[in-house]
Amino acid sequence: MTLRFVDACRLPNRFGEFTLHGFEDEATGIEHLALTHGDVTGEAPVLARIHSECLTGDGLFSERCDCGYQLEAAMRRIVDEGRGVILYLRQEGRGIGLLNKIRAYKLQDQGADTVEANELLGFPADMRDFSICKPMLDHLGVRAVRLMTNNPRKLDSLADLGLHIVERVPLQVGRNPHNTAYLDTKAAKLGHLMKPAKAYRPAPPDAQGADEVAVSCQVQ
């Protein structure tokens, strides 16, 4: 995969002042974004969110999931902390795409859960690919992250891709009557860590002597 950085611009939003960085994955033609706040270079681990696009949640205020709430909370925390990064990956609906996501939602309206719906449509439960993240973070000068996520499989795949994750920061926000079954399915079938939060321990350091540190887990 080849990552091409295109350009960056100011992006003030209602949470604070961000810089928006545009990238293209030349292998797929997919355009990805990064938002940074403050100076994210240097040795100190950076508060980070790796967020897969959810147009319905992020842009249309859907309460069927927790994505919009997580994106908003991540931006607030980054601004509170003074520095941080959000990778905004264009892989809608856990990678099945926007229109298939509508089909999956329809199946959920008829009683399927989020995993069953993807499988009824012939897709795996989760098709996301995080291989673009390391080159994006390298471009931004981010060396190590404190990652806001509830998803241990995301942590494992990112660690396998060479990301230096020093801490998992839980991001449990936005539970409501419309998404509570969905969140419970993510916990039961996809292993998401909902309360009580558990510690995450990354894979052992590689042979090149990566300086992984013991991981603590903040409780909200």
Binding region for Zn ion (CB under 5 A): 54, 57, 65, 67
Catalytic (active site) residue 126: yes
Instruction: Return the SS3 of 75.
Output: helix
3-state helix, strand, coil in the chain (%, to 5): 30, 25, 45
Residue 64, marked binder: no
Nearest to 200 by CA among 117, 163, 139: 163
Annotated catalytic residue, options 128, 160, 175, 211: 128
Catalytic (active site) residue 90: no
Residue 53, marked binder: yes
Q: 123: alpha, beta or left, given left = phi > 0 and alpha = psi -120 to 50? A: beta
- Written as one string, the DSSP assignment of 55-74 is IIIIIT--SSSSHHHHHHHH
Q: Which is nearer to Zn ion, 62 or 157 (CB)?
A: 62
Q: Which is nearer to Zn ion, 46 or 104 (CB)?
A: 104
Residue 149, marked binder: yes
Between CA 26 and CA 23 the distance in angstroms is 9
Neighbours of 80 (CB within 10 A): 12
Annotated catalytic residue, options 126, 143, 146, 206: 126
Residue 37, marked binder: no
Write down the least CB distance from residue 68 to Zn ion, Å: 7
Write down the least CB distance from residue 65 to Zn ion, Å: 3
- Per the annotation, binding residues are 49-54, 65, 67, 70, 92-94, 114, 149, 154
Binding site for GTP: residue ranges?
Answer: 49-53, 70, 92-94, 114, 149, 154
Task: Report the binding-site residues for Zn(2+).
Answer: 54, 65, 67
Active site members: 126, 128
